[in-house]
Amino acid sequence: MGVYDAECGKCGKQEEYVRPFSQCLDTPECCGTKMNKVILTAPQVGAMCWTDHKGFYAGGRYIANAGDMKRYMNEKGLVTESEGAQEVARVRARREKEDREDLVRTVQEVADAAGL
C-alpha cells in the first residue's frame, strides 16, 4: 500500500489517496472525471538515485533535478519540511507571547475592576 497524490484537472483540488502499488494510477474522481496523479511532496533525499530514472512529474511538469524542484516549489508557494518546521516554531513562539500578554492584560483588568 502507498499514499499517492492526485490533482483535479478541472478545479485544481488536490488530495491524497491510498492504493496498493499495482493500483497507484487508479486515482479518485473529482468534477466527474478521474484526477491526475501528481507528486505534491518531494521524495526523500536519494530516492531518485536508486534507479536509472532521473526525474519525475509534479503538477504536470517534469522535475529533473533539485533546482527544478526548488523552482516548482517556489512557484506553487510550497516550502520544504525544514522551512515548514521553522515557520511552525516561529508561529508557536509568537502565539505563546501573545497569549502571555493577553493573560497579563486580563489579570490587570480584573485587578483594576476589583480595586486592587
In-domain check, residue 97: yes
Residue with cell 536509472: 52
**Rounded Cα distance, 60 and 44, in Å:** 20
- Asked whether the predicted pLDDT for residue 96 surpasses 80, the reply is yes
Q: Domain for residue 9, yes or no? A: no
40 is a domain residue: no
| Average pLDDT for 24-35 | 92
6 lies in some domain = no
SS3 category, 20: coil
Rounded Cα–Cα distance for residues 50 and 53 (Å) = 8
Classify residue 95: in a domain, yes or no. yes
The reported pLDDT for the residue numbered 45 is 43
Asked whether residue 56 is assigned to any structural domain, the reply reads no
Structural domain count of the chain: 1
Q: Which domain holds residue 85?
A: 80-116
In this structure, which amino acid lies at residue 6? A
Is there a contact between 26 and 19 (Cβ–Cβ < 8 Å)?
Answer: yes
Confidence of residue 41 (pLDDT cuts 50, 70, 90): low
With respect to residue 57, please indicate whether it lies within any of the assigned structural domains: no
